Amino acid sequence: MPPENLSSRLQAALAVHAEQRLCVGFSGGLDSSVLLHLLAKLAPVCGFSVSALHVHHGLSPHADDWAAHCERVALSLNVSLAVQRVQVTVAGEGLEAAARTARHVAFAGVDCDWIVLAHHRGDQAETVLHRLMRGTGVHGVGAMRARDEARRLLRPLLDVPRSALEAYARARGLHWIEDESNTDTALTRNFLRREVLPVWSARQPALEANLARAAGLFAEGALLLDELAAEDALRVAPGEADSLLRLRALSVPRARNLLRHLLVRACGLSPEADRLGEALRQLCEAQEGVRLVLVEQALCAWRERFWLEAAVQAEPVPQVWQGEASLPWGAGVVRFAQDRGPRALRIAPGAVRIATRAGGERLRPLMDGPSRAFKQLAQEADIPPWQRDGLPCLWQGNDLLWIGGLGVAAEHCCAPDEQGWQVAWVPWSDQGQRKSPGRRL
C-alpha cells in the first residue's frame, strides 16, 4: 500500500470524528509512530485535535530513554504528550496481560473522546491465534474491534498490514524505538509472530488476511449472541418473581449466553466457560438459596427468582440518628420523613440508633397480634438468608422499633392523629438485581 493511500484511507476512516479529541497511545515503536505522524498531519484537514499518552511501564532499563524519545517526537509534531508511570503487578496472569491491564487503566483516565491505538492486521491475526490456543469462545475469537465504544478505543489501522506501516515510516524518514522484549519468544505473542506465523504464511500467503477476516465473522456472531441475550434478558427479567423458572426453561447454551451477557453488562467481565457452566448448573439445581461469586458479581437465587449483586457488599456502620433526612447504610440508605398515623414511629432525633441485629429479635407488626420471630418475618418478606444480618434495625435503648424490609413494632407507632416519623430502607439496586423503590417498613 503506497504511503499516500494509507493517509487517504485513514482520513476517510476518521472523518466522522471532526471536532473530537483524539489521544494516541504512543509507545514510540514503529506502529504508533506512524499513527501519531498520520494523525498530526490529518488533524487540520479532518478537524479533530490530537494529543498523545506514553505509558511508562518501568519494565525495561531503557524505559526512561523511550519516554524521552516520545517527548522529542511529540514536540517535533507539535502534539501535547503526557507520560504516565504505571505499576505492573503480575497476579494470576502473565506479564504481557498485566502490562496491558495497566495500560488500559491509564487509558481510562485520559480526558479525551477517543483513545486511538495502532494495532494492525498482523496484531489481529496474532490475537485470533492466541485466543484460540486458550480455548476462548466466539466473543474472544472475535478479537479486537476497530471501534470499542465501551472503552473509547479506536483502531483505524486494524485492516492494514504492517508492511504498509513500515513503508510509510521509511518514506517519511521516521525514527522509532525497538523494544528488546519483542525478540523474547518465551512470550506467547512473540512466539506466534516470529516462529509460527512466518512458517504458516510461507505455505498459505493469505493467512494473515484470512485470520483477520475470520475475526470479523466471529465478531458478527458475537453481536448476534449479544442481541439474543438482550432479548432473553427482557423475557427472563432477572430479579422478578419467576425469573429462575424462566431461566431454567431456556436451553443450556442459551441460558449460559444470557448469564455471560448479564455479567459483562454489570462489570465488564465474564468467567471462563467451564466456571460459568458450573454456576448455571448449581443455579438451576439449587433447592435452597444460593450465592455464587463470579468475577466482580455474585449470582444469586432465592426461591423462584435469580439476580446479580455486587460480590463485595459495603459494610453497614452503626450510627445515631440526629434528624437527618437520610443516613447511609451499607450500599443503600435509610430515609426519614415526618408523617402522621399508625405507620409512623414515635421517635426523636438523638434518641435512637441504627445498627444490625444482635440475634433473637422479635417484632409485633400488629398491636392485636403476636410478636413474630425475625427469621419468620424475613422468610415472609422474601429476604435471602445472606442479606438478613445486614438489615438495618432501629433501636431505642434495648427496644427494637423497626427492621428494614420487615416492619415496625406496633407498640411504638403513633396514634391516628399523632405526628411521627416514617422510616424507609432503600437498598442499593443494580441492573439485573431486584428493584426496590424504597421499603416503607
CB 124 within 8 A of CB 144: yes
Find out whether 284 and 290 touch, Cβ atoms under 8 Å: no
Helices (H) and strands (E) counted in the chain, each on its own, are 15, 19
Answer yes or no: is 277 a known binding residue: no
Any known ligand binding at 157? no
36 annotated ligand-binding residue: no
Neighbours of 167 (CB within 10 A): 16
Contacts of 213 (CB under 8 A, 6+ apart): none
**Cα(217)–Cα(142) distance, rounded to whole angstroms?**
7
DSSP 93-120: S-HHHHHHHHHHHHHHT--SSEEE----
Count of CB atoms situated within 10 Å of the CB of 389:
11
Closest CA to 155 of 171, 166, 144, 141: 144
Q: Are 377 and 409 in contact (CB under 8 A)?
A: no
29 is in an annotated binding site: yes
405 known member of a binding site = no
Residue 32 is assigned to a ligand binding site: yes
Reduced to 3 states, what is the DSSP secondary structure of residue 133? Answer: helix
Place of cell 483477520: 212
Task: Copy the grid coordinates of residue 128.
Answer: 485470533
In 3D space, the residue among 124, 127, 117 whose CA is nearest the CA of residue 34 turns out to be 117
* Residue 189 one-letter amino acid: R
Residue 244: CA atoms inside 13 Å, Cβ hemisphere, count? 23
CA distances (Å), origin 258, targets 228, 238, 284, 310: 8, 10, 14, 18
Question: Which residues are known binding-site members for ATP?
Answer: 27-32
Question: Which residues are known binding-site members?
Answer: 27-32
